[in-house]
Amino acid sequence: MTAAMFGFEKLRVWQHSVEFAGNVYGITKRFPREELFGLTMQLRRASVSVAANIAEGTSRASGKDRARFLEIAYGSLNEIITILHIAAGQGFIERQHLDQLKDEASEICKMLSGLKRSALDKSD
């Protein structure tokens, strides 16, 4: 017997976002202990927010509502990149990890833009 699948679980952007959150968790495990309630938690919450807002947005009836949640997810990605730059400046992550996460975030941003355009097109 297979488990039920929610519609958002089929979206590549959601799948990539969940994987991205896992990568953020992996990177933040190496942060200093004193950052647990600082940059570590901020990054983790923002990374979870991306996938969660994509999922929540898919449940909305109107295209404008769906687009709003996708915008929030997009904003969380920008928040993550900013915090990662700060973490890199503090020596918490290496440049290659920053670049890798930026590339992943950029790909998710592109998918979010397309999904948002589609949601707004259907709301007319």
CB 13 within 8 A of CB 115: yes
On whether residue 46 sits in a domain, the answer given is: yes
Return the pLDDT at 26: 97
Q: Where are the alpha helices (DSSP H) in 2-124?
A: 12-28, 41-58, 63-89, 95-122
Round the average pLDDT of the chain to a whole number and report it. 94
Separation of alpha carbons 60 and 66, rounded Å: 6
Tell me, yes or no, whether 65 lies in a domain: yes
Per-residue pLDDT at 2 exceeds 90:
no
Q: Does residue 1 lie within any of the structural domains?
A: no
Answer whether residue 105 is part of any domain: yes
pLDDT at position 70: 96
Q: How many domains does the chain have?
A: 1
44 located within any domain: yes
Q: What is the pTM of this model?
A: 0.93
Tell me whether residue 4 is in a domain.
Answer: no
CA 96 to chain centre: 19
For residue 116, pLDDT beyond 60:
yes
CATH number at residue 83: 1.20.1440.60
- Give, in order, the Cα–Cα distances in Å from 119 to each of 19, 51, 89, 105, 122: 23, 17, 38, 21, 5
pLDDT digit string (tens) for 46-83?
A: 999 999 999 999 999 899 999 999 999 999 999 999 99
Q: 87 pLDDT exceeds 70?
A: yes
Whether residue 74 lies inside any domain: the answer is yes
Range of the domain at 99: 9-122
Placement of tokens 């007319």 in the chain: 124
